[in-house]
Amino acid sequence: MELSSLEIRLARSENLPVLPQAVSTIIRLADDPNASQRDLERAFEKDPAIAAKILKVANSAYYGGAHVPSIGRALSFLGTSAVRSLVVGVAFHQMTAGKSLSKQFDKLEYWRHSLATAVICRILGKIRSPGRAEELYVAGMMHDLGQLIMERFMPAELDECIQNSRMMGLPLHVVEQEVIGFNHAQVGGILAKRWGLSALVQAGVSFHHDPDGDGDFYDTTILVAAANAMAHEAGFMNGQRQGVESLSYPMVEAMSLPLEQLDVIRQVASQEVTKASEAFHIAA
């Protein structure tokens, strides 16, 4: 299948993963400085199922076991940015639930890798670009979005790429490019745009394997790329071999952090994935 053909199928919304309308609205409102807390509460009121899941996780040990009886209280207690990230995490977990159409693609590994990348993105964002930390979290959570599309529309091709990646010890996106002529980052960028995600998030999804190709958001996209590599190094390899994806010199230079601090960040990511797995009742 050519990328143009896949894009046409996405445009027709054939079997397309759907970001719930309430989630899209909440992400947009969280980025709007003129939006009020009441505006966000109304968005949650339109999707009681999402609201219930948010409150369940907000009241879990992951957030200290605090008593959070309402969305309004969650917004006050956790903050708008944290709730936005939580919404994205819940929605993404819903999209990765269920049996995979691909024999080689492990949705649980995928979710853990995405979450680890998101956590590291947030940490790096707070250090390097504080005003964009939560937006970077969203970019990290969705950076491999294209793999979900490939798993749904072309599972046999994805299986072949995953197998070749493991046998040859090459990064999956490199094998995808060789075998099918495009990679999951390109596919993810198409869906991120269709979902109306922010330009920063779209760039992080589209260019996390090629930050130099991002002429608009390099400073944040390189952090997404670094977080992805660090998640692999922390053991969340999304089905690939250990050591296949690792930090490059440009990534280390962009983070501008002591190597020992990077070890601490990897450890924090591992702890956060464990805590989140408990909060979402995911088996270890």
Nearest to 124 by CA among 259, 255, 233: 255
Going from the C-alpha of 74 to that of each of 31, 59, 168, 201, the distances in angstroms are: 17, 9, 47, 24
C-alpha–C-alpha distance, residues 2 and 21, integer Å: 29
Q: Is residue 60 part of a domain?
A: no
pTM for the whole thing?
0.85
Nearest to 165 by CA among 249, 242, 246: 242
Q: Measured in whole angstroms, how far is the alpha carbon of residue 237 from the centre of its chain?
A: 14
Q: Is residue 262 part of a domain?
A: yes
Q: Is residue 173 part of a domain?
A: yes
C-alpha–C-alpha distance, residues 148 and 144, integer Å: 8
Q: Is residue 84 part of a domain?
A: no
Number of domains in the chain: 1
* CATH code for the domain of 176: 1.10.3210.10
Tens of pLDDT along the chain (284 residues) come to: 778 777 777 766 555 565 667 787 888 888 788 888 899 898 888 888 788 878 887 787 767 767 888 988 888 888 887 788 788 877 777 777 778 889 999 988 998 999 999 999 999 999 999 989 988 998 999 999 999 989 988 999 999 999 999 999 999 999 999 999 999 999 999 988 888 888 999 999 999 999 999 999 999 999 999 999 999 999 999 989 888 999 999 999 999 999 999 999 999 999 988 877 776 655 44
Q: Is residue 257 part of a domain?
A: yes
Q: Is residue 62 part of a domain?
A: no
Q: Is residue 82 part of a domain?
A: no
Residues 6 or more apart whose Cβ sits within 8 Å of residue 255: 124, 127, 128, 223, 226, 262
C-alpha–C-alpha distance, residues 122 and 133, integer Å: 5
Range(s) of the domain holding residue 272: 3-15+99-279
Q: Is residue 233 part of a domain?
A: yes
Number of residues that this document lists for the chain: 284
Does an H or E element contain 44, and which?
helix 37-45
